[in-house]
Amino acid sequence: MAVIDLIMQRMKNRSKGYFVLIDPEKRSVDLNRMVQNINRTYVDAILVGGSNKNISGFHSFIVRLKKMTDVPIVLFPGSHSQISKEADAILLLSLLNSRSLKHVIGEHIDAAETIVRSGIEVIPTAYIVMDKTGKTSVSRAAEVLKLKSEDDVKKYIYASSLMSYSVVYLEAGSGASQSISPSAVKIARRILDKPIIVGGGIKTPDKAKSLLKAGADIIVTGNAIEKNPDLILDFGALVKRF
């Protein structure tokens, strides 16, 4: 099954999905334990990417990961260099609330030929970063405009609904102290007839539950499971119950 079909199925069936995010640069992470837990529970896909532009051994990491699991590997690139034909799909991210055209379209131009030649599945993704602090890695690197009010959030959600994106990804930022508020997810759900992915700052199953109840179709966890890979089992069990 194509990854986008799996995502659409989650929304249409009103079931919920779970993606795990792995940053290849974080060598201290217990990758074997993480993947063992991924294989044991309810995980739809593994996102792979990092904030740094050039990650040494990125392609070989994807090859290694593919040998460890049958769960689809989806690129979540921090730059045009984070591309591998061994992946199953790529979230082609357009960071809508960035001051930098490089992150809205420039990286796509640099990566386009490589992606087309790779033959991997492409999922055009509206990427909206809702980091009020401006301190997360993506906010600093991509000159993200802060969305200070729900009206600001609503404008970007409406804009994403008018464009030909397959999914909308609402991001609090890697390492965020707090996740996106359920009220922001509710706004998005009222406006959008596209799948909604929510990530950043989701540290506990209770927080994940509140976002899923608010209308998120898929949740993403990264930093929390790096610190405690066994949380993958808790998040997977929660999502499966919905």
Range of the domain at 98: 3-241
Q: What CATH number did the domain enclosing 73 receive?
A: 3.20.20.390
Predicted confidence pLDDT, tens digits, the chain (242 residues): 899 999 999 999 989 999 999 999 887 789 999 999 999 999 999 999 987 777 889 999 999 999 999 999 999 998 899 999 999 999 999 999 988 888 788 899 999 999 999 999 999 999 999 876 555 566 566 678 888 888 999 999 999 999 999 999 999 876 677 899 999 999 999 999 999 999 999 999 999 999 999 999 999 999 999 999 999 999 999 999 98
What single-letter DSSP state applies at residue 72? P
Total count of domains within the chain: 1
